[in-house]
Chains A and B, each alone.
Chain A
């Protein structure tokens, strides 16, 4: 198991470096970023000055080296438009995103587990059909649209909840529900189909033959095996969470890293965008590593084999 962790850790680090290279390349893919920042009235000297400020006058490998060492030191440069250190901006925004993401994830996960298991165990019942309907609608309706419609009904028409910004519990309700909406239908579908597969297996039949209560059969025997499937796509779910967070923060003007990133794109603030991308890449890789370890823990076959 330890060997497994170490190998995975090394792979993660390699991937991180690879992504750094990619990010670095992508930002410079169109040629000269300095030209984008130039205005119509900039002279050639102005443009050259911008280049120097951004360190673009140095050779590419040199630039990359500076980039890497900066990242390690924690210096991601300065935002071009807010004139503040990028790390400071991220530091302020990240907690907001976490405050949004965690409750949403918990809501979505518990809802998905509950509904997925119940619908799998009561096939073709009314509940099952409702769950199937939610799954279909959840995939078809774009999240941003649902968010806007929700804002219309709950904030504008019925004036129950605020339209945007951070604040007390009432400010949390719509954004959390919106972000949960991004996640819940997909998760629920996974849990349900995984449960259906597991419930058909021989060892479940044996569990019933033993005379165990149905409750134990479902929640102890079936669920633990059923969770292995969805866990393998946890990475994809995380991507969905991030995407959903960006959109949710934008709709509700929630000052998290999604929102400042979108604003950064609008303003062509590439140090900021670059930095956030690196951060998210690190988070994604980190979470994937954790998931791999958890998966190894749950499924004893992986734990005992040399991987």
Chain B
């Protein structure tokens, strides 16, 4: 562990988080290595998106620590947190583009907010990033006119406009057709390698993750169930890991949501 600790850009130790009565994480330990693509997998509803929000300081944990690039996220002031976030890019599930600006202005938004660059330089930077995601031709379209996959690519261009160190993908493959999916997979890999980024992908798409991730964590029931390369997880002896990786309907995660006895509920009186 000592060797991995030195080049971890994100270190999560003993993370506990609950929402109301519902415990979401219990003693979670995760290390995200610098320059690698790390996947965080798990069934729907395990709190994968919540984990991203905790790492980026949008939510505060009940207990435990989250160190991002040496900074304790909980201890940072709003100003410090915003400074740290300038080194982060995040791709939301639906792109989260600003609907009253066109594609160009959406990608230029962080530059206009954080820098005083001249207009000509902003143009260059925006068109370079749009070219990287293959959507330079859409510069004057409105977000509403883009397909889901295109909106996500524009959001990706916006996420890398400030040249961040880390980029977080929240379910980047959900609801895409095979072509868009292939494009996004290729982009994640290419951006990670060419821009020297650290990427964190939260997803439940096992097949796509296997092609891009260097390292994977499987989270279920509030704990880390397994970690390793995609092949290691594939060949894991644990029944829980096998169920998820192979997509079995029944197993440690039961097909039926817990409820009262079937017979009692059918024959019993309406309550």
Do A and B come from the same complex?
A: no
Which residues from chain A sit less than 8 Å from chain B, CB to CB? none
